[in-house]
Structure 1
Amino acid sequence: MPLTLPLLALAVFAMGTSEFMLAGLVPDIAADLGVPVGSVGLLTSAFAVGMVVGAPLLAALARSWPVRSGLLGLVLVFAAAHVLGAVTGSFAVLLATRVVAAVANAGFLALALTTATRLVPPDRAGRALAVLLSGTTLATVAGVPLGSLLGTLLGWRVTFWAVALLCLPAALGVLLGLPARAAREDTAGVPDLRAELARLRRPRLLVVMLLGALVNAATFAGFTFLAPVVTGTAGLDALWVPVALVLFGLGSFAGITLAGRWSDRYPGRVVAVAGPLLLVGWPALALLAEEPAALLALVFLQGAGSFALGGTLIARVLHEAAGALTMAGSYATAALNAGAAAGPLVAALALRAGAGPLGPPWVSTLLVLVALLVALPSRRMLTAARAVPPGPGTAGPGHPAADPARSPERL
């Protein structure tokens, strides 16, 4: 794998840490800025909305930029937003920085997803995506607990500074690892924006985007409200919450690694195995939550299954959006973050309706069930061999990835 990929993953790690870290910083931010805890929760919503809107918007605006300049500019804007957030005393300004950071995050991820598949041969595209997305899974394993620890020991502002500093080696990696090309060379052969947007009228693309959103909604519905299950239903001390989060993160890292190895050759099999396991796993977690050992084991397994399935669906979105060279990554980003925003919202409604701490896992169960019902009549498209649009690093006719007759899984 090119060295550029791990450095891009470092930027994704910083951005993922920023997205998830507020869960442990809300009380401190509320006390420091003199606002209600409920209002601080808007910071999370603002980030999610910024991600959904920012992915297609930035991808469209960046079409005329060289790839290196676009990625470098976005990671620097993301860092600058965190510097401003670290020094401001205004909640309104902090809220605005979260939106700006989310838009930059979405744009970076959309460009990086597309770039990752163009840095490697077609038959290694899934593994390249796994390396890139490992930044997100490592954020849940290490970034969020460390951010929470920094916030507890040194104040929430130090965590914002730490995220900004993490962006600097990532920016250097983009600067040194990607070739400097003229804008017209980078965009040579790029289809018209209307033609790329027209891909959204393809039912196959819309189906896999919907599946990605539903699976991610299920994941974040259960993950966001894991703490009340650990401390309430299981009766464990609050110190076990970061342990559970780390286990989920370790599972997600294992899942995205497996998806990277199998999603190129056997995408249908990953979906066929991971989907039903998730459908069994979420209700099992709810029913066995009073047993700490079972709960913690299931947290790991659900993290693995969720990210194995989610990573495979990202690859399928890029496959179905083949031809949308600059917008394909934004379609995947927007779909996943729509799920990340909707899942916790539905889970919160279940909590308010009196479902208790176990309401979110049952919401996750329902969302996975809906996803499988949508996938069932569309299963043939989920077993199609991965196709990579023509571009740098893609195969011509006769390559196994470009020749359906030689593909490992055929329609």
Structure 2
Amino acid sequence: MPLALLALAVGAFGIGTTEFAMMGLLPDVADDLHMSIPSAGHLVSAYALGVVVGAPLLAAATSRMPRRTVLIALMGLFVAGNALSALAPDENWLIAARFLSGLPHGAFFGVGAVVATGLVAPERKARSVSLMFLGLTVANIAGVPAATLVGQHLGWRATFLGVSAIGIAAVVSLFLLIPRTPGPVPGGGLRGELAALRPLPVWLALGTTVAGFAALFSAYSYITPMLTDAAGYGEGSVTPLLALFGVGATAGNLLGGRLADHAMRRTLFGGLASLVVVLAAFPVLMRTQWSAAAAVLLLGTAAFVTGSPLQLMVMEKAAAAPSLASSANQAAFNLANAGGAWVGGLTLAAGLGATAPALAGAGLAVLGTAVAGTAYAVDLRRAKRPAGPTRVIATHVPDRLEAMRP
């Protein structure tokens, strides 16, 4: 695989670290800036809002620029956002800085996925996307625990300065390893990019991402109370178990990329079906500590098997605007994050038990499978449409020639 994929993975590692590290730093940030924990939770929402807003807007605005330049600029914005977070004197500054940090997230992954697939042969496209996403999943194993540890011992500001340093390393890597393009990316400009998102198959692919990953976040957002209240783990054991989720996510990401290069649609359906089974089994698996640990591992694996197929599917359905479509898929992922957490929270508020969010997630995974099935049916119907007049004439010419042969 090309070394340029390493540069994309470094950027993904920094983005994954800053996205999820805030969860572990909330008490420290709240105490230092004299915020309540619920108010500090707005810092997580501000980042997610930045992703949703920035993903399509930045991708569309930079659609005619060389993609290498776009990636470097996006990572520069990421560095600035995290540096400003480290310098934040109050709550409002930090919320604005977190929003700024989130703006380049979706566009970086969107444009990066297009660059990654352009670096390899067609039969390795899904694998190239999975290698870029490897930085994101590894962040859950190493980056987030390390960032939390740094924050607890050196202060939360040191964590954001460290993430900024990772961003600078990514900028250097992108500058040195991503191939230069001779000029602007060809295309129809902003109007053409937006027009490419209109077809129904594009929206069905995005809908599959929302429903499928909402299933994950319905359960994962409340994994700590499941592990402590249902499985009987102590609070000090939760961090290593979350790293176990990262191991599963990394394995699922690599497996999904390899399988999707051979059968993208079957890999997607297989991943969604596995997610339904794993989430439905959570009430049983959370009864003992060893099976609860296995459940965390399997949850990461099943969910991230679908990552590369979904990214490629959206890009293929909007082939005239792959960067914008790919970035929109990242916005869909973050909508899934917020929506899944909301659905899971409703089940807890209703008093349905600690593992109820997982069962709600199983229902969302079934919904994702149904949306994916609808997308498949639409594709089949379009493929069976009668050929136009030009194609009919062309198919009859060989028959006439065959009849004229002696």
Write the distance in 2 (CA, Å) between the matches of 1:66 and 1:6.
19
1:274 aligns with 2:271: yes
The secondary structure found in structure 2 opposite 1:235 is coil
Contact 1:190-1:326 at 8 Å conserved across structures: no
Matching residue's letter, 2:338: A
Write the distance in 2 (CA, Å) between the matches of 1:158 and 1:322.
42
Matching residue's letter, 1:135: G
Q: 2:395 maps to which residue? A: none
Write the distance in 2 (CA, Å) between the matches of 1:152 and 1:231.
22
Shift of 1:154: 1.7
Structure with the greater alpha carbon radius of gyration? 2
Give CA-to-partner distance per residue, 1:192-222, whole Å, 9 cap, x none. Answer: 3222212222111111110011111111221
Q: 2:196 maps to which residue? A: 199
Contact 1:268-1:382 at 8 Å conserved across structures: no
Contact 2:202-2:314 at 8 Å conserved across structures: yes
Write the distance in 2 (CA, Å) between the matches of 1:356 and 1:383.
42
Matches within 5 A, 1:360-399: 360-379=357-376
Give CA-to-partner distance per residue, 1:160-215, whole Å, 9 cap, x none. Answer: 11111111221011111123445xx232x322322221222211111111001111
Q: 2:249 maps to which residue? A: 252
Summarize the Cα distance change of 1:84–1:106 in structure 2 as closer, same or farther, 3 Å threshold: same
1:45 aligns with 2:45: yes
Matching residue's letter, 1:282: L
Matching residue's letter, 1:365: A
Contact 1:233-1:289 at 8 Å conserved across structures: yes
Shift of 1:287: 2.7
Give CA-to-partner distance per residue, 1:268-294, whole Å, 9 cap, x none. Answer: 221232222211111211232121111
Matching residue's letter, 2:194: L
2:327 to 330, 338, 356: 330
Q: 2:343 maps to which residue? A: 346
Q: TM-score, normalised by structure 1?
A: 0.89
Give CA-to-partner distance per residue, 1:58-114, whole Å, 9 cap, x none. Answer: 011112322222111111111121111112221100000111010022222221122
1:285 aligns with 2:321: no
Write the distance in 2 (CA, Å) between the matches of 1:138 and 1:202.
35
The secondary structure found in structure 2 opposite 1:65 is coil
Q: 1:313 maps to which residue? A: 310
Matches within 5 A, 1:5-404: 5-181=5-181, 185-187=183-185, 189-379=186-376
Contact 1:263-1:315 at 8 Å conserved across structures: no
Write the distance in 2 (CA, Å) between the matches of 1:76 and 1:38.
30
Q: Which runs of 4+ in 1 moved over 3 A?
A: 179-182, 377-384
Write the distance in 2 (CA, Å) between the matches of 1:179 and 1:250.
31
Write the distance in 1 (CA, Å) between the matches of 2:92 and 2:353.
32
Shift of 1:307: 0.2
Matching residue's letter, 2:363: L
The secondary structure found in structure 2 opposite 1:186 is coil
Task: Name the % identity.
Answer: 34
Return 5+ residue gaps in structure 2 as ranges: 382-406
Summarize the Cα distance change of 1:268–1:329 in structure 2 as closer, same or farther, 3 Å threshold: closer
The secondary structure found in structure 1 opposite 2:232 is coil
Write the distance in 2 (CA, Å) between the matches of 1:272 and 1:64.
35
Contact 2:4-2:174 at 8 Å conserved across structures: yes
Write the distance in 1 (CA, Å) between the matches of 2:319 and 2:127.
18
Write the distance in 2 (CA, Å) between the matches of 1:370 and 1:69.
39
Write the distance in 2 (CA, Å) between the matches of 1:226 and 1:7.
32
Write the distance in 1 (CA, Å) between the matches of 2:229 and 2:162.
32
Give CA-to-partner distance per residue, 1:362-405, whole Å, 9 cap, x none. Answer: 22111101112222343357899xxxxxxxxxxxxxxxxxxxxx
Q: TM-score, normalised by structure 2?
A: 0.90
Return 5+ residue gaps in structure 1 as ranges: 385-411
Matching residue's letter, 1:334: A
Q: 1:404 maps to which residue? A: none
Shift of 1:311: 2.5
Shift of 1:356: 3.5
Matching residue's letter, 1:55: A
Alignment length (residue pairs): 381
Matching residue's letter, 2:184: D
Write the distance in 2 (CA, Å) between the matches of 1:20 and 1:26.
11
